[in-house]
Amino acid sequence: MKIIIKGGRVIDPANKIDENLDILIENGKILELSKYINIAEAKHIDASKKIVSPGFIDTDYNFYNLENASIQIIKNESKAALAGGFTSVAIMPDTTPVVDNKKTVMKILEKAEKDSLINLFIIGSITKDLLGQELSFMEELSNVGVLAFSDNKPIENTEILRVAFHYAKRFEKAFLVNCEDTFLIEDSLVNEGYISAVLGLKGRPKIAETIMIYRDILLAIESDVPIHILNATCNYSIEAVRHLKTKYKKLTAGINQDYFTLSEEACLNFNTNAKIQPPLRSKDDVMAVKEGLKNNTIDVISSGHRPKTFEEKNKMFIESEFGNSGIELTLALVITELVKTGYLDISHAISKLTINPANLLKINKGTLNIGTDADIVIFDINEKWFVKESKLFSNYKNTPYIKKKLYGIVEKVIVGGEVFDVEKI
Amino acid sequence: MLLKNKDFISLYEVNAEVLLSIFERIIFFKKRETSEYKGRLSGKNIVNAFFEPSTRTRFSFEIAEKMLGANVINFSSKISSISKGESLSDTVKTLEAIGANLIVVRHPAPGAAKYIADEIDIPVVNAGDGGHEHPTQALLDLFTIYECKGTFKDQKIVIAGDILHSRSTRSTLFAIRSLGGEVVLCGPPTLVPDYYKLLGAEICYDLDEALKSAIAVRTARIQKERFKEFYIQPDEYFKNYRLDNKRISKHKDKLMVMHGAPMRRGEEITSEVADGPNSVIFPQMTNGMFARMALLDLLLRGED
């Protein structure tokens, strides 16, 4: 089965490509990139005036109840990911049950194989049951193919984390770390600063994050394990990463889309859709995040997708669950907040969603290399639209972006050669 | 509608005109005989929904409500269906459905009053939501100053004590700033966080220094029930921040001494000062009742 994507502006940062090209796909693999490809029996996809790039890879994605999810739910969540430009996601281990052993991995992969429209990868937990007390079955997790390790929350006990780092030396898989000092953030739900002053809520100081970034990176340096800071949300943290990158090569940093889009003021009026962790920070920190992305201190952009039901979110602020679901808005937020504003050109932005996460997770994706899987996204960079709750694909509508004006929309996504028209799935 | 929306939840970004209109309504009630206004809210059902213990504030609201002829229903969470597992949202929707015209709410969770107000169409008055705000307390404090001084422009007001846990301080700070006044927050550094500067307050750790050009000092009572003990050293705290005669007499000509009650005589304030010529503590309480009358009147009758 041959497919030709015709006339698009092809951007593949890994290979420094940014020009109008046709792409030939056969049997799910990329076969050729050339100026004019014409094969009569191939299916033609018209990509004129669109951008064609490798499909995005998400490094911070949650799907809590995957094992028990119905086919329809998985399909809707896949659609949401496709709408955000993603062809691959790495699922964080706080599923039910936790991904701390081989059996759970196999069950998830089996389910994914059957029902998911996109590639699902697994991140294994560092500690058993995410309790931060005993190591998970790290060796069998590594052998069965988890891409990296994370507890998706801070590990309080430094000694246990140090042991985990050293134990994991053999596996050469990255630790994706959540950095916040649990004592300093106890009972605290927002940034310590303007918003905590206005709302009378205990705040999480920025240094609670930066202190742990230093701690975790030092542990990684000592054990020579690759480390990825999932979220460097404030100026101090970004400075820390920048400084320590000069000392250690296996250090990368990422950021979820909310931290370059919203500041702490989004929590005014006790808006639970802005309740995330780490918390939304000050306007100065938002600028520091954008600068950090621009100067490559921050390598990866992720969705930070945390799907929650209406009942879980629609409570008083102190009781509401943390998190917002956002994967279907990732491309548009990146274009609106980073590209249209001049911080990143589109190719640079794409690199943070493709080749950089691919390198972190050590998967052969995120490029348009000949012979690799045809995971490709075709999108319009200029189309203006407004977020409407009724038009969201995900089953989970906990997003602070309803009514937001956005630029950029995904038209088609190809996953392993299978073509999805985002509007029509 | 006098107030920006149907509720009275917070004084964040409150308009000076709104505050002055409320003050005018307070004066209206203070000047008149009971017989002139006792039927203004007759037929209205007001529910005092107190999910957190209170005596003073509840009594104050209840008397205000009855003075205007409203039907008063007191609701305590201990005896209500909350204990049967009903959601807060359903509880207040039920009150609205049964015929409440206004709900006065006190709740331990910050944001509770806003949450409730968003769930129902009738007005909600915040009588204190966790550590967030206590706007009616701020109203009575400010009116007491207004009654005595006539203006807030360039006037310096000191609030001293446990600022960190004082919800009324937050409301008062918002309101004084909006009226053009200056606020100096005074206390030990652990109880006076820097981020209050972002709200337009000055910070000073030396009370005697702060009192030098102040027109009023308002105590923020230590709220032992709200925090961990290691934030202060008690003996040093009271030595530095107690309102005693030695400290107050230096400024006795113009300094108003204010307190939110309950007072712990001998701790944050001495009896000499509490009962002395600078004290307006009991007049504050009287103004509190009138302030609540004015507020309820404005919310349920608008500008008539």
Task: Give the whole-angstrom CA distance, residue A338 versus residue A351.
Answer: 13
Mean pLDDT of A158-163: 98
Interstrand relation of A376-386 and A405-415 (parallel, antiparallel or unpaired): antiparallel
pLDDT tens-place string over residues A111-131: 988 999 999 999 999 999 999
Instruction: Write out chain B residues lying below 8 Å of A318, CB-based.
Output: 109-111, 130
Alpha carbon A244 to its chain's center: 23
Q: How far apart are the first and last CA of chain A?
A: 20
Residue B81 has pLDDT above 60, yes or no: no
Q: Is A318 on the interface with B (CB under 8 A)?
A: yes
Residue A423 has pLDDT above 90, yes or no: no
Mean pLDDT of B149-163: 96
Within 10 angstroms of residue A84's Cβ, the number of other Cβ atoms is: 29
Instruction: Write out chain A residues lying below 8 Å of B170, CB-based.
Output: 197-198, 200
Task: Give the whole-angstrom CA distance, residue A266 versus residue A199.
Answer: 12
Of B163, B177, B198, which to mutate for an interface test with A (greatest number of A Cβ within 10 Å)?
B198
Write the DSSP assignment of A292-324 as a string of letters. Answer: HHHTTSS-EEE--B----HHHHSS-TTTSPP--
pLDDT at B2: 57
Handedness of CA A184, A185, A188, A194 (dihedral sign): positive
Per the structure block, which two tokens stand in for A388?
């409407």
Q: At what angle do helices B112-119 and B88-98 cross, to 10 degrees?
A: 50
CA distance B131 to chain A (A): 5
- Is residue B198 classed as helix, strand or coil in its secondary structure? helix
Within 10 angstroms of residue B167's Cβ, the number of other Cβ atoms is: 23
Among B245, B223, B297, CA closest to B64: B297
Model confidence band, residue A418 (pLDDT cutoffs 50, 70, 90): very high
- Pair B143, B26: CB distance under 8 Å: yes
Model confidence band, residue B228 (pLDDT cutoffs 50, 70, 90): low
CB contact (8 A) between residue B114 and residue A269: yes
What are the CA-CA distances from residue B20 to residues A34, B26, B107, B176, B256 (Å)?
A: 73, 10, 28, 12, 20
Write the DSSP assignment of A384-411 as a string of letters. Answer: EEE--GGG--SS----TTTT-EEEEEEE
Model confidence band, residue A177 (pLDDT cutoffs 50, 70, 90): very high
Among A379, A380, A381, A399, CA closest to A389: A399
Residue A330 has pLDDT above 70, yes or no: yes
CA distance A319 to chain B (A): 9
Residue B304 has pLDDT above 90, yes or no: no
CB contact (8 A) between residue A318 and residue B132: no
Alpha carbon B257 to its chain's center: 16
The DSSP call for residue A79 is H
- Buried (b) or exposed (e) across B253-272, using 16+ Cβ within 10 A? eebbbbbbbebeeeebbbee
pLDDT at B302: 82
- Those residues with Cβ within 8 angstroms of residue B27's Cβ, 6 or more apart along the chain or in another chain: none
Q: State chain A's mean pLDDT as an integer.
A: 96
Lowest mean pLDDT among A66-75, B114-123, B191-200: A66-75
Please name the member of A197, A199, A202 whose beta carbon is closest to the beta carbon of B196: A197
Task: Give the whole-angstrom CA distance, residue A13 versus residue A263.
Answer: 30
pLDDT at B82: 60
- Is residue A216 classed as helix, strand or coil in its secondary structure? helix
pLDDT at B4: 66
Paired with A122 in beta bridges are: A91
Among left, alpha and beta (phi > 0; psi -120 to 50; other), residue A368 is alpha
Paired with B186 in beta bridges are: B160, B204
Show which of residues 114-153 on chain B sit within 8 Å of chain A, judged by CB atoms: 114-115, 130-133
Percent of chain A with pLDDT over 90: 97
pLDDT at A67: 83
pLDDT at B85: 74
- Pair B154, B180: CB distance under 8 Å: yes
Among A218, A217, A206, A152, CA closest to A181: A206
pLDDT tens-place string over residues A183-231: 999 999 999 999 999 999 999 999 999 999 999 999 999 999 999 999 9
pLDDT tens-place string over residues A129-153: 999 999 999 999 999 999 999 999 9
What are the CA-CA distances from residue A343 to residues A52, A164, A287, A289, A338 (Å)?
A: 21, 37, 10, 10, 5
pLDDT at B229: 66
Task: Give the whole-angstrom CA distance, residue A161 versus residue A154.
Answer: 10
In angstroms, how far apart are the furthest CA atoms of chain A?
Answer: 67
Task: Give the whole-angstrom CA distance, residue A31 versus residue A28.
Answer: 9
Residue B1 has pLDDT above 50, yes or no: no
pLDDT tens-place string over residues B192-225: 999 999 999 999 999 999 999 999 999 998 876 6
pLDDT tens-place string over residues A342-366: 999 999 999 999 999 999 999 999 9
- Pair A60, A304: CB distance under 8 Å: yes
pLDDT at A108: 93
Give the highest mean pLDDT range of A265-274, B72-81, B221-230, B244-253.
A265-274
Mean pLDDT of B23-52: 95
Task: Give the whole-angstrom CA distance, residue A47 versus residue A6.
Answer: 5
Task: Give the whole-angstrom CA distance, residue A283 versus residue A291.
Answer: 13
Q: Is A198 on the interface with B (CB under 8 A)?
A: yes
Instruction: Write out chain B residues lying below 8 Å of A193, CB-based.
Output: 195, 198
